[in-house]
A and B are shown apart, each in its own frame.
Chain A
Amino acid sequence: MLKAKNSLGMIFFPAFDWAISPTHPEREERLLYTQDQLLEEGIFDIEGIQEYKPAVATTEDVERVHFCFPDVDSIVTRSHYISAGGAIKAAQIVMEGEKQRAFAMVRPPGHHAMKTVLGSRGFCTINIEAIMCEYIRKMYGPKRIAIVDTDCHHGDGTQDVYWHDPDTLYISMHQDGRTLFPGTGFPQECGGPKALGRTINIPLPPGTSDTGFMMVMERVVMPILEDFKPDLIINSAGQDNHFTDPITNMNFSAQGYAALNTMLNPDIAVLEGGYSIQGALPYVNLGISMAMAGLDYSHVREPDFNPESLKESQDILNYISSLCDAIPDIYFNPPEKTSDGVVKDGWSVRHKNIFYDTGGFSESQTESLYLCDDCRGILKVETGKQSGPRGLGVEIPRNACKHCRDLALKIVEEAQNKSSNRYVQLINRQDEEYIRYGF
């Protein structure tokens, strides 16, 4: 019988009774064939591989990360609590040393969910990776975490959540935003003023196949990880770069995904997108699981896999190669100024308009970071649906200086007394206090 070289915990939660709508790509059937494939392969019988039930995330787990307006419970469904709970379970398994690795194969996904949440974007409502990472930091102490996002879409949500956090390295490789939702993720987006070079975007041309992805892994991702020396590597494992995916234009294969995973060697993988539910997910998820467990995945192949026909052109490879030359510099020699925002009265301020495609509305937002010389600085977000009630969010980072902490508390107090904000939320990581006012 097979024995896993690396012990692996798998959280398989297909949420067979939840969908956005009957024909939405993120629907009940999405993990059905993956489950069939995993069961038929007998993957849970392999020594060292064990299946776990997901945990259920609490409101506090969500409030530790997000400013949710009007409040968490009016936006977040049960399925989101469970998929975030699945990621939390993966973290528990690894952090408690029960297994060396964990793969949370859960739905719905989360990497388009931003710091502020007013509804659903791109099938995501809350950011399950971020909720997991902050759970880890609360339970197991401050950790340097690298999130490598291999979903075909730019993980604009995860980027936003960690924009100002120098202890979290966010690397996203994705189909060029000029050709795909959400239209962001360009190299110059590289982090806020206190975290420059901690966000790395690698936009890849449509048609990129295994060779191109592996070139990026070798020449960009791995050298940066080696330098950053994270305590944990998380893979936001979206499977929609697959050559059969109906909503993207890439040519990645199950073999490619497994090889990438072997090189990345993540502690935890969390499923993100992937909508070729018959032709890709069963094979890609099997390949990744086997790669994580250190098992031979060379027999895992899609029925219609033809590596020759998927190969990218020399032009594409040349273009990717030029990206590989340029992008590492953003991490190793970050620019002096953030690409996004202006400095005003000691605050770095940026305005954002965020479109919620699922909800069909826009949010207008002003996000400000207090530029402090003694700490990371406090974050302040003023936001609201266009022509809707406004909300204010304030976050005190874990290592805030006394001045910043007092300032944040003062802002919250003043907002309660006299402000145009209907809702006020405080994320106080230092005292582990998550408070909201208003109704």
Chain B
Amino acid sequence: MLLLGIDVGGTHTDAVAAGEDGIKARVKVATVHENLLSSIQNALEAITAEVDPGLIQQLNLSTTLSTNSIVEGKVEDVGMIVSAGPGIDPYSVMPCKNYHVIPGAVDHRGTETSPIDSNALKAAVDSCVADGIKVFASVSKFSPRNPSHEKTMQLALNGKADFITLGHKLTGRLNFPRRIATAYYNCAVWRIFNNFADAVSGTLEKTGLGHVKVNILKADGGTMPFQLSRDLPVQSIFSGPAASVMGIIALCDITQDSIIYDVGGTTTDIAIFVSGAPLIERDGIHIGSYPTLVRALKVRSIGIGGDSAVSLQSGTVRVGPNRLGPSMAFDGNHPTLTDALIWKGSCHCGSIEKSKKGFADFAAKNNISPDELAEKAINTAVGTIHDETRQLVDEINQQPVYTIHELLENRRIVPRKIYMMGGPAEALKDSIFQKFQLSTEVPPNYDVANAVGAALTRTTTDIELFADTEKGVMFIPSLGYRENIPRGYKLHDAEKDAMSHLLSHLGDLNIASAGENAEITASSSFNMINGYSTVGRNIRVKCQIKPGVVRTYS
């Protein structure tokens, strides 16, 4: 039985076939930017030349398709129908032209305080249809507490849309502007993602892999089933860094507070582990100028990589953040961090001779010894990485908490170990160790850690449950589930219900779920008082299948 992982990156598409006891095959092919499908095809062909396709059970795919479409603006026009009610001006978070705010309001407890204006709704739909819009997002304020306005908007679109995103189906977490942006992006990339998904299915058939179960990687360090990804393509954005982080988990035995570096050509991604588990972004990832509700591992990207240009400005040696072409070792004409590492003898790639000559010439031109230049360049790069890491850890330690218990417990992150991967990882390892004085490890197969991560990442999902015993309802917004509950419903009942819905949701998705990976991440119950008597309880429970890998090779 083999698990396949493919990570379509900016330069390379990496693929590995992972077996019970190790990596059976690994390939790197160039990414064809204009045709991601062909990159996947090439990777699949190369892999199936090395292993028996019949043994491949599952393919986990991480692709930049949705991200690229958004970044390059190759997206479809979306009709956004929004019900906001009182609060911040809803036009301040307008992500697109066909944006219609319909009068109507739901409050923080999910009570409708003003019905949807059906005339305005009809006019909005007609105007979008007249503009040739085929994909729609329906988002109302507090829809995770009561989705009725979103459903009314959906009804009005009946027969007029190829696809509709309902805000409350994205997540149960609150944040109206982020919900708007997330729903917008989900619609904007829906068609391009589904066309791609069709093509991937076709390719698998042709490569003799029709039997393989496909999952798409998400930014939170988990996967989602192919079928689900067709409705939630926005969840596939920025899954690249997550693949690398999950790869490190698979390749190393991480148990402590740790720092993870993925050193690339132009950037270094920093991730932080707390007691061996990767940290998740509190709210969600930013795409372009909009923050979203897409869950993601906390990864900070800084402008230092192997290809970062080394330069001198009034006597000060700088590294990055710009890239002035490839390293001199690879026929570039400006020295890079990689060239500095080659000069110091800690890196062996490309043409060593060309690199050393070019580096020495550049140093001479700038009246500095090549030794000093290389040393200063490496120190500067490592210094920047160090400072940014410190800042990130401080920021995380400063994050607000909401209970006395959490505040006084004051769990501060204190990194004890560093793990590195990516091209220049090995070459930078000693300098990083010198700077941090923390045990620094570069695992074998570090250069395809991303594909290993993709291959071994498990399916994750998370849900939020709300119960309001005064109203006698319990609901799980993202599952569209709602049920009446008795007045005596307690936190304990809610926790049990949340877990069983989480697991049965996975069952519906045909995922043989390991219940031991399910966990409750937040759970609270508030007495609701009217006058001086308790009228009910407001209960909130969050649970998730925690991000992780199916097996490790550490």
Contact = CB atoms under 8 A, between A and B. Distances in A.
Interface of A: 1-2, 11-18, 22-23, 25, 27-29, 32-33, 35-37, 39-43, 45, 51-54, 56, 78-79, 82, 246, 278, 282-283, 286, 290, 295-296, 298-304
Interface string B408-430: 10000000000000000000000
A2 B289 CA distance: 11
Contacts of B538: 29, 32
Given A23-B534, A45-B178, A303-B113, A1 B403 contact: no
Contact of B93 (A1, A22, A28, A290): A1
A220 B347 CA distance: 74
B526 A41 contact: no
A1 B533 contact: no
Contact of A53 (B86, B175, B399): B399
Interface in B25-66: none
Nearest to B528: A29
Nearest to A254: B86
Contact of B404 (A79, A298, A303): A79
A19 to B, nearest CB: 8
B403 A42 contact: no
Interface stretch (B101-109, B120-128, B359-367): B101-109
Contact of A296 (B89, B107, B114, B399): B89
Interface string B276-310: 00000001000001110000000000000000000
A293 to B, nearest CB: 11
Nearest to B397: A53
Interface in B231-271: none
A35 B400 CA distance: 12
Given A40-B175, A299-B87, A299-B88, A23 B407 contact: no
A127 to B, nearest CB: 20
B401 interface: yes
B86 A301 contact: yes
B92 A2 contact: yes
A215 B252 CA distance: 68
A27 B526 CA distance: 9
A32 B526 contact: yes
Interface in B60-119: 84-90, 92-93, 105, 107-109, 113-114
Contacts of A82: 404, 407
Contacts of A51: 400
Contact of A41 (B87, B109, B114, B404): B87
B527 A29 contact: yes
Given A29-B527, A52-B398, A17 B403 contact: yes
Given A41-B177, A286-B87, 4 more contacts: A40-B141, A45-B283, A299-B86, A300-B87
A387 to B, nearest CB: 31
Contact of A282 (B108, B178, B400, B529): B108
A151 B407 CA distance: 28
B527 A23 contact: yes
A80 to B, nearest CB: 10
Nearest to A29: B526
A100 B299 CA distance: 29
A39 B540 CA distance: 15
A53 B88 contact: no
A303 B408 contact: no
Contacts of A16: 402-403, 524, 526
A1 B289 contact: yes
Contacts of B405: 17
Given A1-B93, A37-B87, A300-B87, A27 B527 contact: yes
Contacts of B274: none
